[in-house]
Amino acid sequence: MIQPSPDMISVASAIHDAVAPVFLLTGIGAILTVLAGRLARVVDRMRVLNGLPRELQNEYHDEKLSLYRRNVWIHRAITLCTLSALFICLVIVALFVGSEIMMEHARTVAMMFIAAMVALIFGLLCFLREVALATTVFQAPQRI
């Protein structure tokens, strides 16, 4: 039986260590897809409202203001979730680079992972705020 070289073992170990961050990256990608879809709906609705005749613009002022606020929160959520994904990518790179140059990288990887989680948490909180703004337009139906 052929024995694997130490280099092959270190690469295999780095791949093993990078699997969990890759799955996390996939999850963040799914979140970003949802956020982009919500942003597209806000932008489309704003375009419709901006295309109305001038005399109707004032009737939709409150809705336009709500759409603007939602846009701001979605933008923040996308920015923070993208930042989180970038930190996860850096974690994966650090795992491979550290493995290749035989450098102790645990502290760097831990700090980048913590930064990724903090950015993701705040991105999800921004998303939650945007959902709250989007659902304020609903009122309970009156009983007849």
Size of the chain, expressed as the number of residues it contains: 144
Nearest CA among 74, 76, 65, 47 for reference residue 131: 74
Q: What is the phi/psi pair of residue 137, to 5°?
A: -75, -15
What is d(CA 45, CA 36) in angstroms, rounded to the nearest whole number?
A: 14
Q: How crowded is residue 78: how many other Cβ atoms within 10 Å of its Cβ? A: 19
Contacts of 25 (CB under 8 A, 6+ apart): 85, 88, 89, 92
Question: Per-domain residue ranges for the chain?
Answer: 6-51+61-135
Q: Which two tokens stand for residue 137?
A: 């337009």
Block residue for tokens 């970038």: 86
Cα separation, 74 vs 87, whole angstroms? 20
pLDDT at 40: 97
Question: What is the identity of the amino acid at 35?
Answer: L
At residue 108, the pLDDT reads: 87
pLDDT, one tens digit for every residue, the chain (144 residues): 566 666 566 666 666 666 778 889 999 999 999 999 999 999 999 999 999 898 888 888 889 999 999 999 999 999 999 999 999 999 988 887 877 777 777 888 899 999 999 999 999 999 999 999 999 876 656 666
CA distances from 40 to 37, 79, 82 (A): 5, 15, 17
Structure tokens that stand for 123 in this block: 């991105």
In this prediction, residue 124 carries a pLDDT of 98
pLDDT at 141: 62
pLDDT of residue 144: 60
- What's residue 125's pLDDT? 98
Token readout for 103 is: 């450098």
Backbone torsions φ then ψ of 143, nearest 5 degrees: -75, 140
